[in-house]
Amino acid sequence: MEARESWAALAAGGVAGVCVDLILFPLDTVKTRLQSPQGFRKAGGFRGIYAGVPSTAIGSFPNAAAFFITYENVKSMLYHGSTSYLTPAAHMVAASLGEVVACLIRVPSEVVKQRAQVSPSSSTLRILSHTLYHEGIQGLYRGYKSTVLREIPFSLVQFPLWESLKDLWSWKQGHVVDSWQSAVCGAFAG
């Protein structure tokens, strides 16, 4: 994979991740509060619906960028000598490794975000420092294995489907899909 392609994957993945995370943040807050053991109302209800957004904003770009740079690089390494019937397997391996790497960034960001969502009166920085002081770095990685195990099956389906849809659309129109067409394929695959 060329350096220019790597930078493009990094930038596109990062920007897409930030957009999705910030647009869907209020829904995630409501979901987290509904799941809170203290109950929706005591966890903040609809008050402070953007509590924890700084950790998401900070973690979103590097998380998505790490996934896509890993995905694209592993995919390009596996394509050499790969036959067409093994292509979906290459996408599955690349997506799985992408999730393992991205979760190294995603999980600490999620831990801080979720704690802020159920304690809207505490700042993101206060929650981060409290977690580090009382639990150490391990506290930021609470749930890493379960998060990876949750994300990999989704990626095993989504990315081979996304790639196949792009290939089919490219074949039908006789040229590589445009970015908006790739986005449509990704939305359908997701």
* pLDDT, tens digit only, all 190 positions of the chain: 677 777 877 787 778 878 888 888 899 889 989 998 889 998 888 988 888 888 888 888 888 889 989 998 998 888 765 567 678 889 999 999 999 999 999 999 999 988 988 887 788 899 999 999 999 999 999 999 999 999 999 999 999 999 999 999 999 999 999 988 988 998 899 8
What is the residue whose two structure tokens read 């957009």?
Answer: 19
For every residue of 103-168, DSSP letters joined together read HHHHHHHHHHHHHHHH-TTS-HHHHHHHHHHHHHHHHHTTTHHHHHHHHHHHHHHHHHHHHHHHHH
For 134, the token pair is 């009382």
**What is the Cα 122 distance to its own chain's centre?**
25
Burial class (CB in 10 A: 0-12, 13-18, 19+), 11: middle
The predicted model scores a pTM of 0.79
Output the CA–CA distances (angstroms, integers) from residue 182 to 57, 92, 140, 163, 178, in the order listed. Answer: 25, 18, 34, 9, 6
Torsions phi, psi for 41 (to 5 deg): -65, -45
- In angstroms, the CA 107 to CA 101 distance is 11
